[in-house]
Amino acid sequence: MSTPVIPNFSVSDYAKFALAGAIGCGITHGAMTPIDVVKTRIQLEPTVYNTGMFGSIRKIVGAEGAGALLTGLGPTVLGYSMQGAFKFGGYELFKKQFIDLLGYDTAKQYKDAVYIGSAAIAEFFADIALCPLEATRIRLKVSVLSTTVSLQSCSNKFHTTLLNS
């Protein structure tokens, strides 16, 4: 039986993993921004945006222009690019750390735990990187709506939802 070769990744390699994650997550989440804008409007003002996805798109574009569908694009792309970088780069980094810590044979025996543990730790840090920009994205989308969406109205809606459940 031959001895397994465990790669020794360089900082450049980890940077490439992170870049791949940043590009993949930034592009895919950014592309979904118009859908997210419409979904948010439907959730916050169901009496105004009550004509489904396509009808709501027409209402938004008619009232505010097509650019309104891109509200929050910047923080979305930046936030999810950071999340993807931490997730992809971090996963590979933590996987290598577990293999080095446990030894190859033990890591191979418990590979599922190594993969899950690496992914969980990477996701923990990725979500910390994402949170400030996700909060910014949501605030941008909500601030576009009228100021009648207050804490009191949200509380009333939540209470009504609980009573009707």
Helices (H), the chain: 11-31, 33-44, 52-64, 73-102, 104-109, 111-144, 151-164
In this prediction, residue 149 carries a pLDDT of 47
Per-residue confidence (pLDDT) for residue 92, from 0 to 100: 97
When pLDDT is cut at 50, 70 and 90, the band that residue 148 belongs to is very low
pLDDT at residue number 3 = 73
d(CA 50, CA 41): 10
Q: What is the pTM of this model?
A: 0.79
| Spatial distance between the Cα atoms of 128 and 138, rounded to a whole number of angstroms | 16
pLDDT at 142 (0 to 100): 78
27-32 long-range contacts, Cβ below 8 Å, gap at least 24?
27/77, 28/80, 29/76, 29/77, 29/79, 29/80, 30/73, 30/76, 30/77, 30/80
Contact between 69 and 60 (Cβ < 8 Å): yes
pLDDT at 133 over 80: yes
Does pLDDT of 109 surpass 70? yes
Question: Looking at the predicted structure, is the pLDDT value of residue 12 above 80?
Answer: yes
pLDDT attached to residue 6: 82
5 or 45, which is more confident: 45
Residue 136: pLDDT above 70? yes
Which pLDDT value is given to residue 140? 84
In angstroms, the CA 86 to CA 100 distance is 20
Q: What is the amino acid identity at position 92?
A: E
Q: How far, in Å, are 7, 59, 105 from residue 54 at the CA level?
A: 50, 9, 55
